[in-house]
Chains A and B, each alone.
Chain A
Amino acid sequence: MSWTPADPMVSLRDVHKSFGTLKVLNGVSLDVMKGDVICIIGPSGSGKSTLIRCINALNDIQKGSILVEGQEVNDPNLNKLELRKKVGMVFQQYNLFPHKTALQNVMMAPVRVLKHDKAKAEAAARALMKKVRLEGKEDAYPGELSGGQQQRVAIARSLAMQPDVILFDEVTAALDPETVGEVLQTIKDLAEEGMTCILVTHEMAFAREVADHIYFTDRGVIVEHGPPATFFKNAQDPRTKEFLSQVL
């Protein structure tokens, strides 16, 4: 019951999820230790987004267990707000709030949700803008920023909540090729600082470089997993091999 940092930060056991009659997750189990970066790869529609959205309770599950720092997510009495303060999320479509400036996007949740002092939150938000290399763009509205810049604001917005783990759902998939690099660099920086990251990605070179562990999903199950070195070289399952031959 009492969780210690030596235990997995996020732990999934036999997770089942369906939308109506459509079974999307059919018994997924995985562990993420503090400071780990894991990448989930797999064909479109295999349930990758659904899988990570279950971790912060954006989707509910029908069966199994999801523990975040020892707290059960699959629990009708779950305090979702407390869970989401610990688990950040960055989306493919950035989802910045278009009526707020970049800086306001970053500092709003700390002020409104965490009830931080406004001046402190603003100082922290400015520091984060600098960290994601967007100094000078504080007062720009999302509509005035490029996709890559918006995505970095979204990362800063998530970091501002000081989460223990961040979920990234194909955060470079909607970007122009020129701006993919700057966003991946930002994530790489985070990974090096020891942030726990769960990434869904199609960027294989990136996954190989930053991930501690790779999971390959297909039709709602984890087909194969392992550290990048062995995973990419010695894939065993024919489905993994086929997928890798297509994307590498």
Chain B
Amino acid sequence: MRYKTDLPVMMPITPREPTPFIGLKPWQILLIALLAFVGPSFAFAQTGIPILTPFAILFDWAPLLLKGFIFNLVISVSAMALGTALGALLGLGQISLSRVTRGFAWFVTQFFRNAPWLVLLFFAMFLLPFELNLFVLKIPFPDWFKAILGLSLPVMANVSEIVRGAVKSLPSGQWEAAESLAYTRRQTLWLIILPQCVKRMLPPWMNLYSILTMATVLASIVGVSEVMTLTGQALAAEGGRPELLAPFYGFVLLLFFAYCYPIARFTVRLERKFAVID
């Protein structure tokens, strides 16, 4: 096809496969990049300085860093669970028949969706008490718990939007068919609308989870001993040697990559599958 015009027009976009970079898969490229990062510390090690090689040091610290990383995952899963539960409620609020409920849910959603995650985390950290007094019962609020609360707020707002968007994306004929069969609104929602939405919500929800997992390192800024905090402490304990920075932080990167990349791939596959079915 030729477009006869002298106006500067945008040509039709042809969808491309992910750029094949000298015939390597993305994960191979990342591995090479990491090695390149970490390489200099090998070289340094071979000069024969009688100290432990950076990798041996990293090896010693790895179990602790792994534990820290698992803590990140615990935070991410908890914040996701809490945020999803609250967000689902808020999302249903956004499609409520009551104007007041709708307006309230919309406002809360927009407020938390447009707030920087770090600021929300700070708010949760410094506004929540360190313990809650329920008559005789004292429920402590440790830092990690506040971090979960803080991170669940933006998750909640995003889940709320995902729910609303999925419900709105269904053709109105589904509502009308259900109404004309005398289903109540509640039945329509739970038996007909929401089951169809789950499929549509899954990819963006998993995407959100990936983003949340990577955002858990923000908790290091407010002093939770997750992987970044521990890495910093380990480096300090080793005397802050600059050649250790790359292997240590490279290791942390690798951990996140190994966890998040498969999720991303799986999300893409789900999206493709659902796109075909619809």
Contact = CB atoms under 8 A, between A and B. Distances in A.
Please list the 3 inter-chain residue pairs (A to B) with the smallest Cβ-Cβ separation, ordered nearest first. A95-B177, A95-B173, A89-B180
B51 interface: no
Interface in B173-201: 173-174, 176-184, 187, 191-192, 195-196
Contacts of B277: 143
A157 interface: yes
A205 B103 CA distance: 51
Interface stretch (A62-70, A80-88, A130-138, A208-216): A80-88
Contacts of A95: 171, 173-174, 176-177
29 contacts: A56-B180, A58-B176, A58-B179, A81-B184, A82-B182, A84-B179, A87-B180, A88-B180, A88-B181, A89-B177, A91-B177, A93-B173, A95-B171, A95-B173, A95-B174, A96-B177, A97-B174, A97-B177, A108-B191, A109-B181, A109-B182, A112-B183, A112-B187, A113-B183, A113-B187, A143-B277, A154-B177, A158-B180, A161-B182
A98 interface: yes
Nearest to A53: B176
Contacts of A98: 196
Contacts of A85: 182
A166 to B, nearest CB: 10
Contacts of A233: none
B125 to A, nearest CB: 43
Contacts of A88: 180-181
A97 B180 contact: no
A203 to B, nearest CB: 21
Interface in B21-41: none
A91 to B, nearest CB: 6
Contact of B182 (A81, A99, A157): A81
Contacts of B181: 84, 88, 109, 113, 157-158, 161
Interface of A: 56, 58, 80-82, 84-85, 87-89, 91, 93, 95-99, 108-109, 112-113, 143, 154, 157-158, 161
Interface string B210-234: 0000000000000000000000000
A96 B181 CA distance: 11
B183 A91 contact: no
B174 to A, nearest CB: 6
A161 B178 CA distance: 12
Given A84-B179, A96-B177, 8 more contacts: A97-B174, A99-B196, A109-B182, A112-B187, A113-B183, A113-B187, A143-B277, A161-B182
A140 to B, nearest CB: 14
Contacts of B192: 97
A77 B40 CA distance: 80
Nearest to A86: B182
A12 B192 CA distance: 32
B177 to A, nearest CB: 4
Given A97-B192, A99-B195, A108-B191, A91 B184 contact: no
A199 B178 CA distance: 20
A58 B180 contact: yes
Contacts of B191: 108, 112
Contact of A84 (B173, B180, B195, B196): B180
Contacts of A58: 176, 179-180
A157 B183 CA distance: 13
A221 to B, nearest CB: 25
A58 B178 CA distance: 11
A105 to B, nearest CB: 9
A73 B84 CA distance: 41
A113 B184 CA distance: 8
Nearest to B193: A97
Contacts of A93: 171, 173
A97 B182 CA distance: 15
Nearest to A161: B181
Contacts of B195: 99
Contacts of B179: 58, 80, 84
A48 B176 CA distance: 17
Nearest to B177: A95
Contacts of B178: 97
A161 B179 CA distance: 13
A95 B179 CA distance: 11
Nearest to B176: A58
A73 to B, nearest CB: 13
Nearest to B191: A112
Contacts of A112: 183, 187, 191
Contacts of A81: 182, 184
Most buried by B among A58, A84, A87, A109: A109
A155 to B, nearest CB: 12
